[in-house]
Amino acid sequence: MSRTYFGTDGVRGKVGVFPMTADFVMKLGWAVGTVLAAGGTKEVLIGKDTRASGYMLESALEAGFSAAGVSVALVGPLPTPGIAYLTSTFRADAGVVISASHNPFYDNGIKFFSADGKKLTDTQELEIEALLEHALQQGMGCVDSHLLGKARRINDAGGRYIEFCKGTFPTALSLRGMKLVVDCAHGAAYRIAPSVYSELGADVIAINSTPNGVNINHECGATHMASLVNAVLEHNADLGIALDGDADRIMMVDGNGAVVDGDEILFILAEAAAKKGELHGGVVGTLMSNLGLELALKERDIPFVRAKVGDRYVMEQLEQHDWVLGGENSGHILVLDQVTTGDAIVASLQVLAALLESGMPLSRLKQGMSKLPQQLINVRFNDPSVDVLNDERVLAAVAAVESALADDGRLLLRKSGTEPLIRVMVEAKDAAMCLQQAQNLADVIRHVAGA
C-alpha cells in the first residue's frame, strides 16, 4: 500500500492549505495518539523549529494527543535530532517535530520518532493513516474526561542536548585555536550550535542566528551557501558550518571558500574511520550520491551501496547491513555509533575530529575524492493529477538523454517526497554535456507539467 499523507520525511505542506491545517494536524495527533496508546503509551515529546506557524500546529497536536488520552511534554525550539535524543532519554513513548526542515517559512511539517529515537516505519505510518482517514471522514473520538492527556513544559531541553553533542567529541581533543563560522539558518539550532562549538574551545562567528518566525532558511543555511562562503573568507576562518532549519542537514565550507557537500563529508568520515579500523563495514549513499564517492571508496576497498533518496531509506540499508555510516549529498549524515538519526552538529564534530587527528585542513582531507560533474534541476509542478514521469514525451526525452550519456554518465529522474518538484539529475564526465542534457530534459518536463 502507498501512503497518502506521509512523504519521505513525515507530513509536510503549505501552512493553511490541506493537509497543513490546524484541523488536520489535530486529527493527525489524535490518530497517532490512538495508535500509540494501544500499546500503553502515556506521553509524547513535542519540539519545533522557529517558524511562526509552529505555535498553531503545536496547539493543534496537543489537543489531538490529549483527546486520545496521551500526555505531552513541550520542549520549544530544538533541532530535530535533539528531539530524537530527548525522546529516548526522557523515556517518552514517541517524539514529534514540527518543522519543514529546509523549506521556506510558509511551509511546515510534522514528523515522528519512536521511543528509541528512530523514525516510524512504513507499516506504522500506514496504520496511522487508516485511522486518520476515518477521523477526516467521520470525525475523531475523545476519551473520557478523567483519561484526557495533560501537558507540561521542559525548560532545560537545550542544555541537555548541548551536553549530549559535546559528549560525541573525543575528550582528548579541543577546538581551541580554531576559528569557525556557523550559519544557523535562523533555525532551531540558533542558540545551541554556537554554544556547542564555543564550549569545546572554538572561536565562533555565528551568522543568520536571529530568527523572527519568517526568515528561517531565507537565502541562508545549508541550501544557500553564498553567505557562509563570504563570511569564511571575510573572517579568514578555518572553515564554515551550515545547518538547515531543523539542523539535521549539514554542508561545510573549507578555508578557501569551497563548498564541501554531503558526499565529501561522507568520504572524509569513512576514510578517517577506516584508517583507525573503526568503520564497521561500509557506507550507504543514495541514488543521488556522486559517482566520485563510489569510486573513491572502491579504491580504498570500502563497500558502498545506494539507497532510495531519503534518510529513512539510508537508515534501512544501514540496519540491513549492520553498518554505521551513511547519508545523502544534500547533507543528511547518519553516524549510528553516535546518534540514532541525522544530526548536523554531531556530524560536524566528527569531521572536526578527523581534521585534528590528521593535522590537515578541510581542503586537503576532501582531495581524496574527485566529484564528477553533476547537474540538478528542480521543476515545479502544480497539478499532481498529471502523471508527468510517464508521459510519452518525457519518456522519449529520457531515452534520448540516456543514449547521449551511454557509459559516460547516468540519469536520475524522480518526484520529491517533500515538495511539489520533479528532480532531474544528470551526471557525466563532461560538464558541458551534463548541463545540456539536464536542461533538455527539464525543458520537456516543464512543458508537460505546465510549469
User: First CA to last CA across the chain, in angstroms?
Assistant: 30
Q: Hunting for cell 581551541 — which residue is that?
A: 176
Tell me if 253 sits within 8 A of 232, measured CB to CB. Answer: yes
Closest residue by Cα to residue 187 from 156, 221, 160 = 221
Which residue, chain included where needed, has cell 572524509? 268
What is the rounded (10 degree) CA torsion for 159, 163, 164, 166? 140
Q: Are strands 179-183 and 333-335 parallel, antiparallel or unpaired?
A: unpaired
Q: Looking at the annotation, which residues are catalytic?
A: 101
What strand order describes the sheet that includes 409-415? 374-380, 421-428, 409-415
Closest by alpha carbon to 121, among 273, 6, 207, 34?
6
Give me the sheet containing 107-114, strands edge to edge.
11-14, 107-114, 94-98, 43-48, 71-77, 151-153
Grid cell, residue 178, equals 580554531
